[in-house]
A and B are shown apart, each in its own frame.
Chain A
């Protein structure tokens, strides 16, 4: 596992990835091409290659959209959906105990700037506390808040705001 860590890549921030991450993509390699032309070089064996352990992509591939949990307006409680997502995260982090990560808390634009930074921290802290209660060592988890500064959904409507009120777990390797 340690040698695989040597191939760690720095990836884009969680907000971009969280928005894209849906279910884990199908893992099967493409079927071999039925090619009648004479082949002069041997076709290399196709091995499944994916993101390296310790990268955000690896995490997102394993837990899908569960990298991010969502909140109601002004709220910071962990509801049943959030709990399920955090369970998936906790299982992942138990499988790879050497990984440390950051929880980024966010708020929607419909709040004042400084309060929203504090609210983002509150959401990230709630997610961290829940993960700790599931057995993840708190020392592996950093907390940061971006307030309303990093929306993923750009409209000014309830649907967009609901996507922005979030706490995203991000593997950041420095």
Chain B
């Protein structure tokens, strides 16, 4: 499957400042964003606008501030809907710039369109500035307090609207509307699936190397809306968002032993996944959220088990002498890729979801660990250990291995919802300090994700509804 485009330019690294909300900024209910019909032309049919693969990095895309018909106060911004429209455009600009595909110019460098121009752009102004694409939009504070956001993408040279969409969100969710707009533009221009409107669970780290404090934390895909979920008195590790974003599976040493808990984000209540004196680790969700995989170590032997997410009997999926750990489902739920040292060193294996037909797939030298199946089903990301630790991808039969990073210790890849970008954490030699990084599937555009303190164990959730 050839990539539809080539990323030539590594975009300048732009740190997106996380919203200064250290503890419990209201995230808003995790409801589907309501889509609304908005006025405008019918969308132009997809015509594969870009024929020259090298052209992507040169496409100037102008993103002026979103207009507001009537200046009104809103909880989403202390200075009202006008200021909010500028913030929305900034979020979109940062999203598109950080992902290395385009050269967006944001609202701080552009004239602000009037509300009437949003649906009737003055193309002359924009082509004069060298913009090939133009994003315009509006934000309205409704009487019920919610925000209506309209998003339009125009081809400046063809003087045509390419796509439009509108959403209604609670004020606390204004960033989601900006991410939905970013996804709309991104998908329309690249043909790829969306990923901006998503969240990441990870472990926030502080303290000296010999006494690290590790807390469960969550944030938006751009680092905003950050929240700590555990206090840090007990070590938290390896979190995973449930497919519906309502819960997080993670490992905690709260009673002195490694135990797996389900953390209900809405209630804050935590439930033990399995009552067992043996160490349990490496929790995973099935794609439909109905099952939980976990690994359990008994007398030196570790195997992978499956238990219904609502509780009940565990069934054993692997049963070899050795350490079988982890497990990542294919998106259709029929297969699981996992790591095992049954051959003498860590390698990657695929089995059917019921544990049958276990076959090794990693044969390309070095060791294979922490395998993760892409949400697109076509690739498996893994930690490749060959001296250093690096993030690599391979096809689902183990061929076509490509090493994407070059750090000293890069580990634990996690996929963006669209299967095009991989996050991982990088450990610094000697200090042992960790940080979260992203790289795209072609190995380009490696960049650090901003977090309030050090970070590890990122787990990228799916696209939010």
Contact = CB atoms under 8 A, between A and B. Distances in A.
Interface stretch (B17-25, B30-38, B71-79, B427-435): B427-435
Interface stretch (A27-35, A55-63, A122-130): A122-130
A14 interface: no
Contacts of A117: 258, 279, 281-282, 297
Chain A, interface size category, equals 20 to 34
Contact of A152 (B210, B295, B385): B210
A80 B42 CA distance: 79
Chain B, interface size category, equals 35 or more
A112 B295 contact: no
Interface in A80-129: 109-110, 112-115, 117-119, 121-122, 125-126, 129
A53 interface: no
A156 B432 contact: yes
Interface string B428-444: 01101000000000000
A154 B237 contact: no
Nearest to B382: A112
A151 B256 contact: no
B430 A114 contact: no
B370 interface: yes
Contact of B210 (A122, A144, A154): A154
Given A113-B412, A144-B256, A156 B429 contact: yes
Given A112-B412, A129-B299, A149-B235, A119 B257 contact: no
Given A113-B457, A145-B279, A149-B212, A126 B258 contact: no
Interface string B402-442: 00000001011000000000000001011010000000000
A150 B209 CA distance: 8
B297 A121 contact: yes
B323 A118 contact: yes
B299 A114 contact: no
A114 B235 CA distance: 14
Contacts of B389: 112
Nearest to A122: B300
B326 interface: yes
A157 B150 CA distance: 56
Nearest to A174: B256
Contacts of B212: 149
B84 interface: no
A144 B258 contact: yes
Contacts of B235: 149
B258 A145 contact: yes
Contact of B257 (A115, A144, A151, A156): A144
B38 to A, nearest CB: 46
A115 B279 contact: no
B300 A125 contact: yes
5 contacts: A112-B411, A118-B279, A122-B323, A150-B210, A154-B208
Interface of A: 74, 76, 109-110, 112-115, 117-119, 121-122, 125-126, 129, 142-146, 149-152, 154-156, 172
Given A125-B300, A129-B299, 8 more contacts: A76-B300, A109-B432, A112-B369, A115-B339, A117-B282, A129-B300, A144-B258, A155-B430
Interface of B: 208-210, 212, 214, 235, 237-238, 253, 256-258, 277, 279, 281-282, 295, 297, 299-302, 323, 325-326, 339, 341, 345-346, 369-370, 383, 385, 389, 409, 411-412, 427, 429-430, 432, 456-457
